[in-house]
Structure 1
Amino acid sequence: MRRWMGIPVAAVMLTACVTINVYFPAAEAKEAAKEFVEKVIGETPAESKAEPGKPGGSASLERPALQLDRLAGRVDWWSLVGIGSAQAQSPDISIKTPAIQAIQSRMASRFDGQLRAHFDSGALGFTNSGTVSVRDASKIPLAERVAVNQAVADQGRDSAAVYREIAVANGHPEWEAQIRQVFARQWIDSAKGGWWYQDAGGGWKQK
């Protein structure tokens, strides 16, 4: 009798030692955001380019900090203290679905056709929430303001749609807010010199 009573207890202990480890792949999300954003904006910012043969000049070479970040995200820390892990491996962040690429194409076309000149003039800027905003309407010719405001609104809707679509396409809708944060940083990182952006407090700064 005692032998059989021990079976449920052992089962509970075994279950307690198994964890499901699902993490947000921040390094992969940053890489995906950079690829997406720079295709929308166009040229890579001059300050982010490296001369051939120097560190950063090859896409196959990663910064040590990024390599450590990737490694840390993949270490099963529970296993180091003897606790098993039933790990649900998170995939690389995919941005290659037809829906995502269609949004990217619209955003790139709109950026080149209607928004870029107004970023250059200082009228528009990137917000700290991953969208575009009119920073100084006086820099937009009166005849163009309605069209520019509409383009800004459309770009904002597409931005929100793509953050949601990336999260859903990768099987984790709950990642939407984190993906938005990663993209918000990347729009600013990829901005050209002289363009405006919002800092964490909402103030405008020129890059």
Structure 2
Amino acid sequence: MRKLVYGLLTTLFVALVGCVTINVYFPEAAAAKAADQFIGTVLNNAGAALPADNSKSNPPAAPKKSGRPSAMLLDLLIPAAYAADTPDIRIQTSTTETIRQRMRERMQGGLSALMDSGATGFTRDGLVAVRDAAKVPLNQRAEVTATVADENRDRSALYREVANANNHPEWEAQIRATFAKGWIEHARAGWYYQNPSGAWTQK
């Protein structure tokens, strides 16, 4: 009889654990807020640094236990199941800070003027593109092309780094999409950006 009870309990336990799904979702709101802060420091003249990353010194509080035996058992065996309960995203690393500084210097060094003239614009996928080369003097076009290429290299590296810094490289496309919206929202009056269909629109 005792063996039968143990067998039933073991079967029930395996079935219970097998039904647990750890749903680690993309924290869209937190990502949008972090992207907004980053973009603001790149496009604005203020040289404020991004908020310090306190995730290591102030770890999220442990979730409250429900008091039910099954929940307590799962808490002991699968503590990661609560990871998704605290939506947060890390955006500041030494790499992203270096990228931010380069992007800010590039924006102040001429990219902003190119945006003002309509020669360049923000693409729908979070990059920058030459929209109208005719607005750039012929002897400066090669330099502008190189500037845009450098900017896009940094942007792609940024999105990849943020995803990796959060231990979710699969989030890169969502990070890129979040930043793409942010760049457009922060675009100054008169700047061009691509709408969802890819057509250029002036803000």
Task: Work out which of the two has the higher radius of gyration on C-alpha atoms and give 1 or 2.
Answer: 2
Which residue is 2:88 aligned to? 92
**1:24 maps to amino acid:** F
Which residue is 1:26 aligned to? 28
Which residue is 2:58 aligned to? none
- TM-score of the pair, normalised by structure 1: 0.77
From 164, 171, 179, the equivalent of 2:175 is 179
CA RMSD of aligned residues (A): 2.1
**2:180 maps to amino acid:** A
**1:117 maps to amino acid:** A
1:38 deviation in Å? 1.4
Q: Is the 8 A contact 1:95 1:101 kept in 2?
A: no
Q: Distance in 2 between matches of 1:150 and 1:159?
A: 14
Q: Is the 8 A contact 1:198 1:205 kept in 2?
A: yes
- TM-score of the pair, normalised by structure 2: 0.78
1:42 has 2:47 as partner: no
1:43 deviation in Å? 5.3
5+ long unaligned stretches in structure 1: 45-78
Partner SS state of residue 87, structure 1: helix
Q: Distance in 2 between matches of 1:88 and 1:155?
A: 34
Residues 127-159 of structure 1, C-alpha deviations (whole Å, 9 max, x = no match): 000000000000011121111110000000000
Q: Tell me the percent identity.
A: 49
5+ long unaligned stretches in structure 2: 47-65, 75-80
Residues 48-95 of structure 1, C-alpha deviations (whole Å, 9 max, x = no match): xxxxxxxxxxxxxxxxxxxxxxxxxxxxxxx9xxx9682223562222
Which residue is 1:198 aligned to? 194
**1:180 maps to amino acid:** R
Question: Which aligned runs of 4 or more in structure 1 are off by greater than 3 angstroms?
Answer: none
From 109, 112, 122, the equivalent of 1:113 is 109
1:11 has 2:7 as partner: no
**1:92-171 to 2 correspondence within 5 Å?**
92-171=88-167
Q: Distance in 1 between matches of 2:176 and 2:187?
A: 17
Q: Distance in 2 between matches of 1:111 and 1:174?
A: 29
Residues 163-190 of structure 1, C-alpha deviations (whole Å, 9 max, x = no match): 0001111111111110000000000000
**1:6 maps to amino acid:** L
Q: Distance in 2 between matches of 1:100 and 1:171?
A: 15
Count of aligned positions: 171
